Chain A
Amino acid sequence: MSQEKLIEIKNLKTFFNTEAGIARAVNDVSFDIYKGEVLGIVGESGSGKSVTSMSINRLIPNPPGEIVGGEIFYKGKDLLKYSYEQMSEIRGKEISMIFQEPMTSLNPVLRISSQMNEILVKHEGLIEEEATKKSIEMLKRVGIPEPERRIYDYPHQFSGGMRQRVMIAIALACDPKVLIADEPTTALDVTIQAQILDIVKRLRKELGMAIIWITHDLGVVAGIADRVAVMYGGFIVEQAPVKKLYSTPKHPYTQGLLSTLPKLEGERTERLESIKGQPPDLHNIPDSCPFAPRCIHVSEKCQNENPRLEMTDPEHQVACWWNTEKENYSS
């Protein structure tokens, strides 16, 4: 893996002003994305993974959302200082997104051709005919049969999986450097999921873009990601290469998540484990470890101080007092 940093996020804080108070959806999150790598962001609902990815593209609805602090560097330039016009040059051209809901992410009353071409016309300055040619080429790449004919269809004439392919084709039409995939397979059934994953893997090889793959499905992440960040309550609690994370999870939350997966081996009578308790209320995050109320290794220090993300080895970072102490004992 080349070590050229594409995106560098430093202390990102994205809050939502709601009637119940300020919801700290993303709380001091820092991570990097290198050229051509796939970073998986894993977490349960409300852990801030989607908001983190939307923040990169500055797509937080404001009001109520607001990026209150931090920096997002893309190729060394801070995106948070960009104007709307500058940002719209980045969006779609440099950083693209695909969304969770393929059924509603395409405009229902416009033809696919019109929706694909407008991006190419804007970013690549192509004329309509060239754009159509390029769009057909992209549709072929994502495996739409008969793209010359299908490009003039309307979204309602496609199935869910086909629509997600179209979304991927649109997102990759301008050859972006980063693709943010916000749970793109969640709304699809399992066979289609596998197809979409294959398409993305293949296109990544062909086009060489970096991918941020957001999901709550640990199986999907294992299949596609190089590196995984686990989010909980608006914090990143653990970050490691995918093999390392799955073989030696360090944070109790990651351990818990992995133990909830059903296994093929082992006793049949064994019940599936679950993590007891509820995810934290984002309006009211105390200055303690957000996972403390549900943690089986909780100690007094966990209740008083929020652990910071620390390196346990050059590639593995974890934010947990229990772990730090354990490391200290063993060394």
Chain B
Amino acid sequence: MIRSTKNNDNSIFRRRWNKFKTLKRGYYSLIALLFLYIMSFFLPLLINNKALVVKYNNEYYFPIIKGYISGETFGQDVPGEAKYRSLKETFKNDENSNNWVLMPFYPYSPFEDITYDGNKMYQPPSLKHWLGTDNTGRDVFARLCYAFNISISFALILTIINYIVGILVGGAMGYYGGKFDLFFQRIIEVWSSLPMLFVIIIISSILKPSFFLLIGIYTLVNWISMTYLIRAEFYREKAKPYVAAALSMGQSNFKIMFKHILANSLVPIITYFPFSVVAGISALVGLDYLGFGLAPPTPSWGQMLDVGLSNISKWWMVFSPVTAQFFTLLAIVFIGEGVREAFDPKVYSRLR
């Protein structure tokens, strides 16, 4: 098939992407955030108290893959699972054997507490614990990193689900109009008059939410704003002549909605996305801080903040989650600002 590369570069989204790349603040924020987020999926390999490889009596063990291996397997006198950090020390001191342990780069897990292998409470930052330990002896840095992954994942999944609901319901409302539109408008009006924070607190105090249940509860609240945005877009676009032209050529409603109209409504949808993610992260932090978010052992910034504030004299416990949150949200807002600028046809409105 003949395709000229020169003409393919004329896609408006390609031009916007090229413009986005020239806005350094947003572009580098995006790269940094993407890199960190992708890295955070490999956290069990980087930050963990389970060894990657153990060589013991000429046999190789991979606890990171296999999971539970009892301490007795390695001749360790502990109840239950092997303590790999002390195992490493033991093997190192025993110069006669060629046993060894390969630990992850940062050998602490976010879930181990004071009962585990010599952990101490309120350790200030040191080379051992980069950001100290908290009131139950957990490593703050490990928890911070895991919480990063959870926060971003939560916000992304929440936003995407909101978008799917919003595009389906809002799109149908705007496109079909009539009684369907009226019906859903009234539902949205009633729904949005509920005091949502209380609804969430009540539901999550009854149900003890897991990650996905919390997303479900939040979607119940958040689908409204997206739906209204998409409805307005579809309502405006459906009156344009290209829709009539597509209809007159026998195109199906589905194709018209999701190929023709949606492609023309992408600007507000995309520019809204980063800010929606910011809102999602803040919402999770807020709920966790109040204690109605994810169930306790889960590492989360809100819960760390709560603990930190009740131990205000241990500065690292407050400083760490606040700083992490600040820079994450700042990076996303920079991305959002860059996206908005890249999509803005008016050149003079660039922020300098």
Q: Using CB atoms and an 8 Å cutoff, list the residues of chain A in contact with chain B.
A: 57, 59, 63, 84, 87-93, 96-97, 99, 101, 104-110, 115, 118-119, 122-123, 129, 132, 148-149, 152-154, 157, 167, 170-171
Q: Is the CB of A118 within 8 A of B251?
A: yes
- Considering the chains assembled together, what is the distance between the CA atoms of A170 and B264 in angstroms? 20
* B contact residues around A152 at 8 Å (CB): 3-4, 7-8
- Which one of B1, B8, B241 lies within 8 Å of A105 (CB-CB)? B241
Q: B206 contacts the other chain (Cβ, under 8 Å)?
A: no
* B contact residues around A157 at 8 Å (CB): 7, 10
* B contact residues around A93 at 8 Å (CB): 250
- Which one of A105, A108, A148, A154 lies within 8 Å of B245 (CB-CB)? A105
A209 to chain B, nearest CB (A): 15
Q: B249 contacts the other chain (Cβ, under 8 Å)?
A: yes
Query: What bracket does the count of chain B residues touching chain A fall in?
Result: 20 to 34
B336 to chain A, nearest CB (A): 22
Chain B window 246-286, contacts with chain A (Cβ cutoff 8 Å), 1 for yes, 0 for no = 11111111010001100110100000000000000000000
The 3 closest A-B pairs by CB, nearest first: A92-B249, A92-B250, A91-B250
- Considering the chains assembled together, what is the distance between the CA atoms of A118 and B249 in angstroms? 10
Q: Is the CB of A154 within 8 A of B11?
A: yes
* A contact residues around B4 at 8 Å (CB): 149, 152
- Considering the chains assembled together, what is the distance between the CA atoms of A87 and B242 in angstroms? 18
Q: Using CB atoms and an 8 Å cutoff, list the residues of chain B in contact with chain A.
A: 1-4, 7-8, 10-12, 178, 240-242, 244-253, 255, 259-260, 263-264, 266
* B contact residues around A88 at 8 Å (CB): 250-252
- Considering the chains assembled together, what is the distance between the CA atoms of A88 and B240 in angstroms? 19
- Considering the chains assembled together, what is the distance between the CA atoms of A105 and B248 in angstroms? 11
- Considering the chains assembled together, what is the distance between the CA atoms of A276 and B251 in angstroms? 44
- Considering the chains assembled together, what is the distance between the CA atoms of A122 and B248 in angstroms? 13
* B contact residues around A106 at 8 Å (CB): 242, 245
Further contacts, 5 of them, CB under 8 A, given A99-B244, A105-B241, A152-B7: A88-B251, A110-B260, A122-B250, A132-B1, A157-B7
Q: Is the CB of A59 within 8 A of B249?
A: no
From A93, which residue of chain B is reached at the shortest CB distance?
Answer: B250
- Which one of B1, B250, B264 lies within 8 Å of A123 (CB-CB)? B250
A176 to chain B, nearest CB (A): 10
From A171, which residue of chain B is reached at the shortest CB distance?
Answer: B249
* A contact residues around B250 at 8 Å (CB): 87-93, 119, 122-123
From A182, which residue of chain B is reached at the shortest CB distance?
Answer: B248
- Considering the chains assembled together, what is the distance between the CA atoms of A153 and B11 in angstroms? 8
Q: Is the CB of A108 within 8 A of B242?
A: yes
* A contact residues around B3 at 8 Å (CB): 152
B174 to chain A, nearest CB (A): 14
Q: Is the CB of B248 within 8 A of A110?
A: no
Knowing A108-B242, A109-B264, A110-B259, the reply to whether A154 touches B247 (Cβ < 8 A) is no
* A contact residues around B240 at 8 Å (CB): 104
* A contact residues around B244 at 8 Å (CB): 59, 99, 105
B156 to chain A, nearest CB (A): 25
- Considering the chains assembled together, what is the distance between the CA atoms of A276 and B337 in angstroms? 59
Q: Is the CB of B259 within 8 A of A91?
A: no
From B2, which residue of chain A is reached at the shortest CB distance?
Answer: A148
* A contact residues around B248 at 8 Å (CB): 57, 59, 91-92, 96-97, 99
